[in-house]
Structure 1
Amino acid sequence: MQKVTVNMVSDVVCPWCIVGYQRLQEAIKTLDNIEVDIKFHPFELNPNMPEQGQNLREHIMEKYGISEQQSVDNRARLVEAGEALGFAFNFTDDSRMQNTFKAHQLIHLAAKKGLEEEMKLSLFKAYFTDGKDVNDQNVLVEIADAIGLDGGEVKEVLQNGKYAQAVREEEAIWMQRGIQSVPTFVIGNQGIAGAQEPATLAAFITQAATQQ
């Protein structure tokens, strides 16, 4: 059995990141004799997002210079892509883009406890499916508690910014490697941007396994 590490650079408020993750899972199902280890790495789509966030539709129209209709069409495409992969996007007119720096610190803590994947998926679901504020400390403590982390420790880590510097440094490393958009999958020595189809991801993983 060969082992391939897939480094996934992503943000928890990036819809195509959860689509990309689900497609990666579909790709893994098709592989023979290759074990895949997924490592998550932080990227903030909006590092300057204020604490209170911003209306999601307004934010997308402003950031990408698109019309309201294009925004509606994009959401419909995402909902469809999610449904095909068993993930529910529940967008509303009140959906907000949020600051994710605290969420990334929480993922960093979870990784130390071997719960990084569970944490990442819980945050995706909390934000996209349940419409929760993943910048709210109480919400983060609740999510962490549900996957088996110590709520008291989580609160302390977030309040004192214990892993703030570590997250900033890791973000900087991936940006220095030229990653400017997410999701990006780094498989072997290849960087693959975007929520690629399962067959494409499977081909890159197989190639990485043969090159080892």
Structure 2
Amino acid sequence: MNKLKIDIVSDVMCPWCIIGYKNLETALAQLSDKFAADISWKPFELNPDMPVLGQDLNEHLQQKYGLSEQQGDENRQRILEMGEKAGFDFNFDGKRIMINSFDLHRLLTWAASEGKQTELKLAFFKAHFTDLVYLNEQDTLLDVVQSVGLDRARAKQILDSGEYFQEVRSEQNALQQMGITSVPTFIINEQYALTGGQPSDAFVQAFKQIAEQEAQQQQ
């Protein structure tokens, strides 16, 4: 059995991050007899200067990327199709906002110590993209944290304090020094990287190549 250490650099605000993860999940299921993966999530903020109140998503995309209404519609349709293919439901029917995700990363750092990081990350993705929950509202955010079995009072204590601030900043700085500027980035065994919402076949091929290279190195 080959062991894979997979660090996923991502932001909950990024639709391609959940698409890429679901395709990774599919690839690992296909290769479950050959590979076992230890997955961790690394913090990246798409919008570090975003105010706490957030911003209407369509307005944000127009300002940041210069997307016209038609281009925005085409982008959403592509994400819907890719999400459906990957097994994730995107909901573009209601009002959606873009928020700063720093507090989410603090909670995810804590969740890692509780053995629930991936579970919480996936709950955040579903809340944001499927349920259209505003994760910048503390009570709503705590509802999501509690839904995966984490302690609500402890999470509130973290949010109300500066806990895990330095840990998140240190990880972000380390990733920047590695030259990572986009998400998702999948770092495999600390030396190989795949970027973007890759299809499952790309992960399967990469894992097989990595296993072959590492086997040759050990000879």
- Range class of TM-score, shorter chain: over 0.9
Show the counterpart of 2:21: 21
User: Contact between 2:94 and 2:132, CA under 8 Å: does it hold in 1?
Assistant: no
CA distance in structure 1 between the aligned counterparts of 2:52 and 2:185, rounded to whole angstroms: 26
3-state DSSP class of the match of 2:37? strand
Q: Structure 2: state its 5+ residue gaps.
A: none
The reply on whether 1:204 has 2:206 as its aligned counterpart is: yes
Show the counterpart of 2:186: 185
CA distance in structure 2 between the aligned counterparts of 1:139 and 1:172, rounded to whole angstroms: 29
Query: CA shift at 1:206, angstroms?
Result: 2.1
Paired amino acid for 1:122: A
CA distance in structure 2 between the aligned counterparts of 1:206 and 1:161, rounded to whole angstroms: 42
User: Contact between 1:34 and 1:209, CA under 8 Å: does it hold in 2?
Assistant: no
Q: For 1:33-72, what aligned pairs fall within 5 Å after superposition?
A: 33-72=34-73
Show the counterpart of 1:103: 104
CA distance in structure 1 between the aligned counterparts of 2:93 and 2:175, rounded to whole angstroms: 32
Q: Mean Cα displacement is larger for which, 150-159 or 33-42?
A: 33-42
Q: For 1:52-201, what aligned pairs fall within 5 Å after superposition?
A: 52-92=53-93, 94-188=95-189, 189-201=191-203
Query: CA shift at 1:92, angstroms?
Result: 3.5
The superposition leaves residues 73-107 of structure 1 with CA deviations (integer Å, 9 ceiling, x where unpaired) of 10011111111222111123621111111111111
Please report the TM-score for the alignment, with normalisation by the length of structure 1. 0.96
3-state DSSP class of the match of 1:200? helix
Question: Which contiguous aligned blocks of 4+ residues in structure 1 show a shift greater than 4 angstroms?
Answer: none
3-state DSSP class of the match of 1:202? helix
Please report the TM-score for the alignment, with normalisation by the length of structure 2. 0.93
Query: CA shift at 1:208, angstroms?
Result: 2.4
Paired amino acid for 1:115: K
Q: Structure 1: state its 5+ residue gaps.
A: none
Query: CA shift at 1:157, angstroms?
Result: 0.6
Computed over aligned residues only, the root mean square deviation of the Cα atoms, in angstroms, reads 1.2
Query: CA shift at 1:110, angstroms?
Result: 0.5
User: Contact between 2:95 and 2:132, CA under 8 Å: does it hold in 1?
Assistant: no
Identical columns (%): 44
